[in-house]
A and B are shown apart, each in its own frame.
Chain A
Amino acid sequence: MDKREYERLVNLYLKSVYHVALNGCKCSTDAEDVTQNTFIKLWEREDAFADDEYARKWLIRVAVNECKSLWRTAWKRKTVYLEEAEREPVFSSPEKSELYYAVRELPVKYRQIVHLYYFEDYCVKEIAALMKLSETAVQTRLLRARQKLKEKLKEAWK
């Protein structure tokens, strides 16, 4: 990939990729690894993207897959990150903090879909394609995730 194009895409999508990674990994150190690996793959990619939206989807799909690779790693279970406590995000209100941790406590199969739906604005069909799931599975998970969030957040979640 051309360096200028790479830097442009980094400026556009670094935050999105990091958020997807953080959502998938829960741990910021892993999220950083996932993000870096994702952009390494971008740099190594030879084909140009049709447009920025395609690039965004490609990056998010790679990040989701990188998270999966991380979960499969046997050694991951033995890895503990001390600095995590220092890196917990700080929010401007307790409600936001509660929402963040409520989502984070969801099983990964729910929280990734929640993030893609509520943050990235993907529709069920797009999420299904991205996650290689059926649309029904995505709908079901989304429904259950909403219920769980409602139970936890009460009025804060409509």
Chain B
Amino acid sequence: MSGEEQNKGFYKETIEEISVPERLAEKVGRVTEGEEKRRKTTAGSVMRKVAMAAAILVALFVGSNGIAYAVTGETWVETMILKIKFNIKGTEYEVETKQHQLRNGKTIYVGELEDKNGDHYRVSAHVKGQGGTYFEMEGAEVWMEDGGIYIWDGDVEIDITEDFEDDGYASGTYEVNGVLKGYKLWKRDEGIGCWIEILHDGEKESFWMRDWLE
């Protein structure tokens, strides 16, 4: 047997030892059960921790073709790079953004900027008239598991399943490391929206995320 054949045999034996997770086999089996049920399964049974992709929402674009108004010269069709003006707390910044495809099929434009205080933000804009400034909020995560919904933040774990199930809406506050945070989750046709707010001395910054939500 040649060295390459031995390598193949060794690699095959190794990979063969990795079994398909049972839950995956179940999910794949349920694909034929219809769109609605499948989506429910996808969102509800995958145990994952999603690091917050958070956004300070600022009204940037109005109308369905806002992105076109925001373009300041780049040929976005060719380069997929746009210069977009973002308004952060009253100051306007022009940022070069690149196109990214979200897992849910939507297109966003993402860039980075440094504000006048030297703070760095990742900024994004949607094609359909929404825009925002967002950054990763490493502390807070939302989990979904088998229909349950949980917020984890440091040592804090909140089970909001029941609250959410009542009317498709859940809200509340919690404190972690001396910081008061608020959360809101709501169900819509396209999925579940989630806000996490950090409350500082009466000042409120709001963050928005969605990713695992179809």
A43: CB under 8 A from chain B? yes
The complex places the Cα of A83 from the Cα of B21 at a distance, in Å, of 13
Closest chain B residue to A28 by CB distance?
Answer: B21
Looking at the complex, which one of A36, A79, A118 makes contact with B31 (CB distance below 8 Å)? A36
Decide: B211 and A83 in contact? CB cutoff 8 A: no
Give CA–CA (A80, B100) in the complex, Å: 19
Check if A10 sits within 8 Å of B28, measured CB to CB.
yes
Residues of A within 8 A of B12 (CB): 118-119
Is residue A112 within 8 Å, beta carbon to beta carbon, of the partner chain? no
The interface of chain B, by Cβ under 8 A from chain A, is 2-4, 6-8, 10-15, 17-21, 23-25, 27-29, 31-32, 38, 42, 46-53, 100-103, 108, 110, 124, 136, 141, 211
Known contacts A3-B32, A36-B42, A74-B108; is A83 also within 8 Å of B47 by CB? yes
Residues of chain A with a CB closer than 8 A to B21's CB: 28, 32, 87
Does A99 interact with chain B (Cβ within 8 Å)?
Answer: yes
| Interface residue ranges, A against B (CB under 8 Å) | 3, 6-7, 10, 14-15, 18-19, 22, 28-29, 32-33, 35-36, 39-40, 43, 69-70, 72-76, 78-83, 87, 89, 91-92, 95-96, 99-100, 103, 114-115, 118-119, 121, 156-158
Are A14 and B31 within 8 A (Cβ)? no
Give the chain B neighbours of A82 by CB distance below 8 A.
Answer: 48-49
